[in-house]
Amino acid sequence: MITGSSHLLVVDDNKVNRMLLMHNLQEQGHCVDLAVNGCEALELLRTNPFDLVLLDIEMPEMDGYQVLSTMKSDVQLRHIPVIMVTAVDEIESAIRCIEMGAEDYLPKPFNPVLLRARIGASLDKKHLRDREQLYLKSLERELEIGREIQAGFLPTELPHSPGWEISACLKSAKKVAGAFYDAFYLESEQKICLVIADVCDKGVGAALFMTLFRSLLRFTIGATDAFGEHSPAVRLKYAVSLTNNYIADTHGDTGMFATIFFGMLDPLDGTLTYINAGHEHPLVVTSNGKYTPLGNTGPAVGVIPNVTFAVRDVQLQPGELFFAFTDGAPDSLNLAEKRFGRERLVSLLGNHTSAQTLLDDVYAQLTEYVGEAEQFDDITLLVVRRSPLSI
């Protein structure tokens, strides 16, 4: 049993009862406040932190039922345990109060041993609940810190290149995400790197691996600068293979992997050189809505060491766009648990006037579809559009 002083409120219109309870409770070492009716009790409860309330049922102005009902419908007060103080011939009233949310009841005249036991038990539960709340709050704080740190792993600004628009968004299902996008300019090659990836599973574990995958890809592609004249294909192969081998060799026992699309776009001629390692097929979409999926060129990253990743390329013509997403988008569930579906997603891609409006439109449609349902998975969208006027 948790011992120590607690702050208790005794609510009773009967002076003798108030005196008796206060005397007993003070003898037990508790700090006691008194209220003579329900209105006074609620006023005290709203201005002072109490650990427990001893509440009489029969009172003028506002009776015990009304006080209890008000407390239980108030988010600030509902967690405070209430012990009803009732005459022995009022057991039915006590049962009604327990059904309304009272913690326990105490028959009058008071038996000090019973009083001590019931208060002790209720306070124990209250203190455990308080600890649980504190623990949950500290977890929330930790997750919030994690979310902020993880947000730093997304690009703060997307690359700008004449004749090109790039837009992206990530909406995580939990505080932290297992999916990510990346877009950055590789100075040495005058190319734009585009990444969209989805780590298996969700939550903290996936988020940790997200930071690892993202960092490895960024580091390895950057390290290829030392190669000098090598082509985008060689650089992509190097970055994805090294990342794959590192994860598979070092973290193979965790079973964690990621599906990754890693492309390198030449903004001058629209060539997109890419590896699609098990990721949902991004689409190259013409302005009239026809599309070409960019299929897989290798397995998911981190599963099989020393596997070969093929490299392909595609050319984005003026007015065409590249649309990549994580499966959280087509797998979005509404309240009836029906999937949004890939077909519906693809049907939104025609008649685009800009990368950002397309992204906004897709995201709005997904949000409207999901409605009040809980978001099932991280939703990541990456749109790259070549201006129709570019040569």
Three-class DSSP category at 312: strand
Q: How far apart are CA 154 and CA 146, in angstroms?
A: 13
Residue window 84-103: x/- pattern of binding to other proteins, with contact defined by CB under 8 A: ---x-x--------------
Query: What's the min distance (Å) between Cβ of 28 and other proteins?
Result: 12
**Cα gap 360→362, rounded to integer Å:** 6
Residue in 37, 39, 52, 40 with CA at minimum distance from that of residue 6 = 52
Return the residues of window 115-154 that contact other proteins according to CB under 8 A.
none
109 preceded by a cis bond (ω within 30 of 0): yes
Phi, then psi, of 114 in degrees rounded to 5: -65, -40
Residue number, 58 or 361, with CB nearest to other proteins:
58
In sequence order, the 6+-apart residues with CB closer than 8 A to the CB of 349 are: 283, 285, 289, 291, 321, 323, 358, 362
Q: Which residue has the tokens 């996936």?
A: 206
Q: Does 79 bind other proteins (CB under 8 A)?
A: no
Binding-site size for other proteins (CB under 8 A) equals 18
Shortest gap between Cβ of 19 and other proteins (angstroms)?
Answer: 6
**CA 278 and chain centroid, separation:** 25
* By CB under 8 A, residue 58 contacts other proteins: yes
Site for other proteins in 253-292 (CB under 8 A): none
Q: Judged by CB, which is closer to other proteins: 38, or 270?
A: 38
Out of 4, 47, 99, 109, the only residue in the binding site for other proteins (CB under 8 A) is 109
Would the CA dihedral through 138, 141, 143, 145 be positive or negative? negative
Binding of other proteins by 60 (CB under 8 A): yes
Q: Pick out residues in 218-257 that bind other proteins (CB under 8 A).
A: none
Q: Which amino acid is at 7?
A: H
CB of 25 to other proteins, least distance (A): 12
Give the max Cα distance, the chain.
Answer: 95
Per-residue mark of binding to other proteins, 7-36 (x: CB under 8 A): ------xxxxx-xx--xx------------
Of the candidate residues 31, 91, 112, 353, the single one contacting other proteins (CB under 8 A): 112
Interface positions with other proteins (CB under 8 A): 13-17, 19-20, 23-24, 58, 60, 87, 89, 108-112
